[in-house]
C-alpha cells in the first residue's frame, strides 16, 4: 500500500453517509470477472459486499448486459449477504442500460432506446454468426441496445482473434448495406450523409457493435446522476478497468471536477499520460505480472484495509 493510494479516512465518530470518502466505478470484464472463466472469484464478491455495506458506493460500468451482471455479480453478492438499505448500481451496455439492486433483488431495468442498434441489423449479425462463425463465437442474446458477439471460452485466444478480424470486416460491410455509417478503430465508413453513427469495437474476448454515443464516459455521467439522486456526493472516485477505453471513466470525472484516480489492471498496452493519477498493481507493491481480477481484487482489499472496513 503506497501513500498515494490511501483515501482520506473520516475521523473516528464522524459519519458522513452523503459524502463517502470513496466511490468505486468498476469495469467488470478484467478487473472483477476473469476474462478466462468469465466469472467472479468469491473473495472479490466478499470485498464488494463489505465495501458497499460500509457505505462506499459500488457502481459497475460495463459493456456487459444486465443479465450478465445479475448472474455473475448480483446473485453472488446477495448470497454473500448485502445488508438492508444498501443499493448497488449497475450501468450496462456502456451506458445504454442501467438498473440498481439491493438484498431484495433487482429494480426496474432502464433502456435508452435512442442508443440501440437497429433490430434488422442485429438480426443479420445473428444469422452471419450462425452461418459462418459459430465454431469460434456466439451472438449475445441478452443485449438490449448493443450487438455483441463473444468468443467461446473453449476456443484458443489466438484462433479467436484471427477469426474476429474476418467477422469484424463482415460486420462493417453489413453496416454499409444497411445504410449505416460505421467506424472500426481508425477505419471510417461514413454513410451517404457522411455520418458515422455506429462503431465496431473489438475487445480481447468479443466484438461490440454500438452507437458512437455509448461509452464508459456516458456510464460515468450516469453513475454521478444515480448517486446524486440518492443525495450522495463522493469525496473521491476510483475508476478501474483493463482497456484503454476504460480511461474514459476517469477522463469524464476529472473533466467534471470530480477527484479521481484510475486503476489500470492490464497496463500492457502502456499507461497514457493523464491529468489524474493512474495506478497499477506495482503501486500496491505487487509484481507487474499481477493483472486482471488478481489486480482488481488486490485493490479492493487495499481499499478495505485503508478504510478499516
Q: Which residues bind Mg ion (CB under 5 A)?
A: 27, 29-30, 242
The minimum distance between CB 127 and Mg ion, in angstroms, equals: 28
Q: Which CB, 62 or 100, lies closer to Mg ion?
A: 62
The minimum distance between CB 202 and Mg ion, in angstroms, equals: 13
The minimum distance between CB 25 and Mg ion, in angstroms, equals: 13
Distance of alpha carbon 61 from alpha carbon 257, whole angstroms: 19
Quote the cell numbers at residue 252.
Answer: 469524464
Distance of alpha carbon 293 from alpha carbon 265, whole angstroms: 8
The minimum distance between CB 274 and Mg ion, in angstroms, equals: 18
- CA angle at 222 for the pair 277 and 270, rounded to the nearest 5°: 30
Q: Which CB, 35 or 122, lies closer to Mg ion?
A: 35
Residue recorded with cell 466505478? 25
Do residues 91 and 59 touch, judged by C-beta distance below 8 A? yes
Strands of 187-189's sheet in order across: 137-139, 147-151, 206-211, 198-202, 182-184, 187-189
Q: Which CB, 152 or 244, lies closer to Mg ion?
A: 244
Q: Which CB, 124 or 262, lies closer to Mg ion?
A: 262
The minimum distance between CB 86 and Mg ion, in angstroms, equals: 25
Quote the cell numbers at residue 35.
Answer: 476474462
Residues with Cβ within 8 Å of residue 177, at least 6 apart in sequence? none
The minimum distance between CB 241 and Mg ion, in angstroms, equals: 6
Residues with Cβ within 8 Å of residue 275, at least 6 apart in sequence? 254
Residue nearest to Mg ion (CB): 30
Distance of alpha carbon 33 from alpha carbon 282, whole angstroms: 20
Q: Which CB, 74 or 240, lies closer to Mg ion?
A: 240
Q: Which CB, 30 or 215, lies closer to Mg ion?
A: 30
Amino acid at each position: 500500500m503506497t501513500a498515494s493510494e490511501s483515501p482520506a479516512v473520516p475521523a473516528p465518530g464522524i459519519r458522513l453517509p452523503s459524502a463517502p470518502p470513496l466511490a468505486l466505478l468498476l469495469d467488470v470484464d478484467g478487473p472483477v470477472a476473469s476474462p478466462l472463466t468469465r466469472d467472479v472469484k468469491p473473495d472479490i464478491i466478499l470485498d464488494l459486499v463489505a465495501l458497499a455495506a460500509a457505505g462506499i458506493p459500488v457502481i459497475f460500468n460495463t459493456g456487459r448486459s444486465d443479465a450478465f451482471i445479475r448472474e455473475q455479480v448480483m446473485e453472488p453478492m446477495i448470497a454473500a449477504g448485502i445488508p438492508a438499505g444498501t443499493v448497488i448500481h449497475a450501468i450496462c451496455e456502456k451506458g445504454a442500460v442501467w438498473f440498481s439492486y439491493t438484498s431484495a433483488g433487482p429494480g426496474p431495468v432502464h433502456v435508452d432506446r435512442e442508443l440501440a442498434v437497429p433490430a434488422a441489423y442485429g438480426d443479420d449479425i445473428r444469422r452471419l454468426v450462425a452461418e459462418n462463425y459459430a465454431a469460434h463465437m456466439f451472438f449475445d442474446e441478452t443485449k438490449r441496445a448493443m450487438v455483441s458477439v463473444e468468443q467461446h471460452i473453449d476456443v484458443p485466444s489466438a484462433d479467436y482473434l484471427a477469426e474476429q478480424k474476418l467477422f469484424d470486416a463482415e460486420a462493417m460491410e453489413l453496416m454499409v448495406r444497411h445504410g449505416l455509417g460505421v467506424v472500426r478503430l481508425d477505419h471510417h465508413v461514413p454513410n451517404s450523409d457522411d455520418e458515422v453513427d455506429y462503431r465496431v469495437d473489438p475487445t480481447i474476448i468479443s466484438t461490440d457493435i454500438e452507437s458512437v454515443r455509448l461509452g464508459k464516459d456516458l456510464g460515468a455521467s450516469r453513475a454521478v446522476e444515480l448517486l446524486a439522486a440518492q443525495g450522495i456526493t463522493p469525496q473521491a472516485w476510483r475508476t478501474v478497468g483493463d482497456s484503454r477505453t476504460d480511461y474514459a471513466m476517469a477522463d469524464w470525472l476529472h473533466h467534471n471536477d470530480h477527484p479521481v484516480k484510475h486503476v489500470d489492471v492490464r497496463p500492457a498496452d502502456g499507461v497514457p499520460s493523464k491529468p489524474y493519477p493512474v495506478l497499477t498493481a506495482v503501486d500496491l507493491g505487487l509484481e507487474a505480472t499481477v493483472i486482471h481480477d488478481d489486480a482488481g481484487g488486490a485493490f479492493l482489499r487495499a481499499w478495505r484495509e485503508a478504510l478499516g472496513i
